[in-house]
Homo-oligomer: A and B are copies of this chain.
Amino acid sequence: MSACSQHGAHAARLAGLRALLARRNLAGCLVPRSDEHLGEYVPPAAERLAWLSGFTGSAGLAVVLADRAVLFTDGRYMLQAAAETDPSLWERRHGQEEPPERWLAQAAPGARIGYDPMLISGSALARFASAGLEMVPFAAAGNAGPGAERNPIDLLWADRPAPPLAICRPHPLAFAGEESEAKRARLGAALAAGGEDAAVLSDPASINWLLNIRGRDLAFTPVALGFALLFSDGRLSLFMAEEKVPPETLAWLGPAVTVAPPSALGNALAALSGRRVRVDPAGTAVWFADTLTASGAAVSAGPDPCRLPKACKNETEQAGARAAQLRDAAALVRFLAWFAEAGGSGKETECSAAARLLAFRRALSGFAGESFPAISAAGEHGAIIHYRASPASNRPIRANEVYLIDSGAQFPEGTTDVTRTVWTGPAEPAPELAERFTRVLAGHIALATLRFPEGTTGPALDALARRPLWDRGLDYDHGTGHGVGSFLSVHEGPAGISRHAEAVPLEAGMILSDEPGFYLPGAYGIRLENLLLVQPTEKNPADGPSGKPFLRFETLTLAPFARRLIRPELLSPAALAWLDAYHTRVRNTVGAALSAPERTWLETETVPFL
């Protein structure tokens, strides 16, 4: 019943939006999931797409026309989009296989399409414009215009939550590893070397990394939301609600950082007239470049200058990542030991199991929250790649089924993200299921054991993790790995191990996930995820000559892979040797934090195969 009334509300919202579009003489509009920081996680005040459509996934774009409304998302979210949106209102399409601009150019050639310039990047907007559409901003460059020009959703959304105003605090040097002043001097000098006077920073993760601050504006990413201008002399203007910045933080920021409210941003950009300012065309809302250009500044298209340095963790952050992983591993292994008994009992549900894991994590020192909403998925729910158990979807975990748990934690030392897939028993799993599990594991190990020359990009490695599945005509519809922040976002660019990731060379210090999977809709999902740290290799005399330095991965995550689902005869001797060594390492490092029964379970689970 509540689902019905929600669908009724969504029909009314869509009708309201269409009425406003018609009044503005627009054939349609874009409603992206992103907020003005174009990030993956957004505060409730920015959940416009969910308010309009019901879809709550972390990536999506709605295209609303007078007679059609289409929700574009990707392979991770196709099933979730179908479950959350009303088919009588919404078509759902795969935005990677069918880009929205291409669909829209065919459905409404040359049409007038409205967009909010604070919610779309210059690159994304250019794709729609290149497809021949007439793109009309809701508000002109500069400060927002009168009400009629505002984002129509904001006009319709009566009970829209207030923006978050959590306090922003120092991120001590013991975790950050480099003074903000040194970071700003380094990045400012690089701007100067490129003839740039300043750079727009619109990604809160970049600003929080650069200033060594953290906040609590988002549920899972410990950032304070804001904007910034970094100048080539290392000074920085921070645009953030002043009540979020207490005296302690102001002192920590130091005299070279000024703080002003976000409403001062338009004037600050206008003051850059005649200067050359870098704006990330893909990562920053197009409003910034438009406003700078309108003010007489020269816009220099280039990546967010924090993006690559932030991704390459320094020695302190690397040591922190290892410490965070070891601490987090105790919670996950205790959970897995508990689940081995309780999981198939029929008494637990997806929600109760997730709560149990969270309780184990809450007992960890320094635990600062989950790094994303845990995916606790039994049976067929595991095939919904980014499933989130809710009171409506929650179901008991039953005997003899597959259970997938993908979760992570935030610690000041670092961010974790780990997925394990287990079998509840007591019967033995079907050989076909175990074969598929083992092929996913073989792909995981293929990446974990890789050595590769400097200059290799993430997209070039994606197929290595897929091959064991490809050999049987199987695949998974998501990337193999994403970058992970250091007490920041669990999804961090620029590097990723995916055909859709940017082709940036992997560099020492980057942390990436390794998470191949296999999904059988309506039946089960398998995903096996560890985090890997890119490391230089030592020269091995047996390697012979090579002009290029090589890199390797250090596995950071410590948790056993489900023994009952492994068919060792399908793994190569080298892969089995890696697995045995990894399990030995898990035993030796995590064991000390466990109770005697937990340790016994871990020892049984990790008996060597060879």
Contacts and interface: CB of A to CB of B under 8 A. Distances in A.
Nearest to A545: B520
A203 B367 CA distance: 62
Contacts of A432: 544
Nearest to A548: B475
B544 A474 contact: yes
Contacts of A544: 432, 436, 472-474, 520
A601 interface: no
Contacts of A450: 467, 470
Interface stretch (A251-259, A384-392, A452-460, A581-589): A452-460
A168 B550 CA distance: 51
A610 interface: no
Interface string A539-555: 11011111110100000
Contacts of A542: 472
A69 interface: no
A539 to B, nearest CB: 8
A491 to B, nearest CB: 21
A445 to B, nearest CB: 13
B473 A540 contact: yes
A499 interface: yes
Nearest to A546: B473
Range of interface residues on A (Cβ < 8 Å): 35 or more
A515 interface: no
Contact of A452 (B463, B477, B547): B463
Contacts of A459: 459-460
Interface in A388-442: 432, 436
A472 B453 CA distance: 11
A546 B477 CA distance: 11
A186 interface: no
Contact of A543 (B456, B460, B464, B472): B472
Nearest to A522: B545
Interface string A67-104: 00000000000000000000000000000010000000
Interface-central residue, A473, A539, A544, by most chain B CB under 10 Å = A473
A546 B451 contact: no
A537 interface: yes
A159 interface: no
Nearest to A132: B195
A430 B344 CA distance: 57
Contacts of A317: none
A572 interface: yes
A462 interface: yes
A33 B462 CA distance: 35
Given A457-B499, A572-B572, A543 B463 contact: no
B470 A543 contact: no
A461 interface: yes
A471 interface: yes
Contacts of A456: 463
Nearest to A195: B132
Nearest to A540: B473
Given A436-B544, A499-B457, A572-B572, A451 B473 contact: yes
Contacts of A499: 457, 460
Q: Which of A467, A537, A540, A572 has the most CB of B within 10 A?
A: A467
B452 A543 contact: no
26 contacts: A97-B455, A436-B544, A451-B473, A452-B470, A457-B499, A459-B460, A460-B460, A460-B462, A460-B499, A463-B464, A464-B464, A464-B467, A472-B540, A472-B542, A472-B543, A472-B544, A473-B537, A473-B540, A473-B543, A473-B544, A473-B546, A473-B550, A474-B543, A474-B544, A477-B547, A520-B545
Given A436-B544, A461-B463, A475-B548, 9 more contacts: A432-B544, A451-B470, A453-B470, A460-B462, A472-B542, A473-B543, A473-B546, A474-B546, A477-B547
